[in-house]
Amino acid sequence: MKIAPSVLTADFSQLEAELKSIDNADLLHLDIMDGHFVPNISFGPAITKSIQDQTHLPLDIHLMVTDPLQWIPKFALEQTKYITIHVESNHVSETIQAIQKEHIGVGISLKPKTPVRAIIPYLNEVSLILVMTVEPGFGGQSFMEEMMEKVKELVEIRKREGLHFLIEIDGGVNEETIQIAKASGVDISVVGSYLFNQEDRHQLIEVLKCV
């Protein structure tokens, strides 16, 4: 299992130390919120660039924004590995093309109430599918185990169609729920408040990787 800590729950007044405490992770997950697509605001390109300058980890950028197209060039940083947009956002096809032009992996995400069929038209163009296991916008929510049906559906589609996208989940991941995720076929788990509430984050990341 690959582990992608979400910096949304980090202490930004101690950012360098916080990033160092999770530097054995596989990716760094950054939730970008516009206050419109979700009822919360996080941070933008300037803070993202500052985060990049203080970590060696590849960036896994999750745009929870209504109009992602305008933001792609601003988040196409040197360490950006994936930019994930929501299928519920505007101009999905055009935004996918914009990400591809930056030579960055395309991710597509779906909210809990959105069925897998909504992303079927894009499966040949994406490197990553992010299944939200909580309602997007706030940390600390409980894991929605019923979302594992979507994961299993995606695993079956991937196998049947000979595709290679990774399956990621975000929301409510801990030592118990990550076992459920692994059994369902998840490749990458975003871990937020559960990880940042631990004293020895390096150790927990190693435990979660070995699930």
Instruction: Cite the active site residues.
Output: 31, 170
pLDDT at 139: 64
Name the domain count of the chain.
1
pLDDT at 141: 77
* Minimum mean pLDDT range among 53-57, 135-139, 151-155, 205-209: 135-139
Q: What is the DSSP string of the chain?
A: -EEEEBGGGS-GGGHHHHHHTTTTSS-EEEEEEBSSSSS-B---HHHHHHHHTT--SPEEEEEE-S-GGGGHHHH--TTEEEEEEETTSS-HHHHHHHHHHTT-EEEEEE-TTS-GGGGGGGGGG-SEEEEESS-TT-SSPPP-GGGHHHHHHHHHHHHHHT---EEEEESS--TTHHHHHHHHT-SEEEE-HHHHT-S-HHHHHHHHHT-
Q: To the nearest whole number, what is the mean pLDDT of the chain?
A: 96
Say which CATH number the domain at 16 has.
Answer: 3.20.20.70
| Containing structural domain, residue 141 | 2-209
> pLDDT, tens digit, for every residue of 80-130?
999 999 999 999 999 999 999 999 999 999 999 999 999 999 999 999 999
Global pTM reads 0.96
